[in-house]
Chains A and B, each alone.
Chain A
Amino acid sequence: DAGVTQSPTHLIKTRGQQVTLRCSPKSGHDTVSWYQQALGQGPQFIFQYYEEEERQRGNFPDRFSGHQFPNYSSELNVNALLLGDSALYLCASSLPGQGTDTQYFGPGTRLTVL
């Protein structure tokens, strides 16, 4: 049973560039959430995708956008990168309607902005 997978593992970009991160949910899950974890902090919710639509969004600027595909995989796009965007980006998948809607996390993508 495949867990949540993310690619790439690490990424280095420069200020002003754009980046795309990818996530495949756990087998049988149809909902994907994205979180940003800065060094020494807890994860912060960016948004959640369900049925290819953004269902809920956290307090992040419009430079952060996403997409969900018919196979439930998802992408996170960040435009006009800032130094402060350096963080671990975590994807989580879940299956609503299971009561707890428990979110299972992938290993993350470490983004460094120079």
Chain B
Amino acid sequence: GEDVEQSLFLSVREGDSSVINCTYTDSSSTYLYWYKQEPGAGLQLLTYIFSNMDMKQDQRLTVLLNKKDKHLSLRIADTQTGDSAIYFCAERPVSGGSNYKLTFGKGTLLTVNP
């Protein structure tokens, strides 16, 4: 079954890069997502990658995927105080088109210090 693990806390200084890590266990083809949750709010989709890709870049965000180690990372360049939030990694294995649920990690709390 699916299992997603994340480190719980990350603290960085404004202007530095942040790297949030995630590991997943499912061995089939899978979509991997990053969501952001601000206090008291729902989840905002940041980006996603399919397991046949190694990297995806979208403005300040870079996603790196190491398929051999089942390790996913989200790099945020030039981190700002507005980036302070909880970041969730989620996976959705593609198994004959019959799996629709997202499995989430527990989230990484990113704190950006001025």
**Which residue numbers of A lie inside 8 Å of B, CB to CB?**
4, 6, 31, 33, 35, 40-45, 48, 55-56, 58, 90, 92, 96, 100-108
Contacts and interface: CB of A to CB of B under 8 A. Distances in A.
Interface of B: 4, 31, 33, 35, 41-45, 48, 50, 88, 90, 92, 98-107
B33 A102 contact: yes
A31 B100 CA distance: 10
Contact of B42 (A41, A100, A105): A105
A90 B45 contact: no
Contacts of B92: 101
A42 B105 contact: yes
A102 B46 CA distance: 11
A43 B100 contact: no
Contacts of B41: 107-108
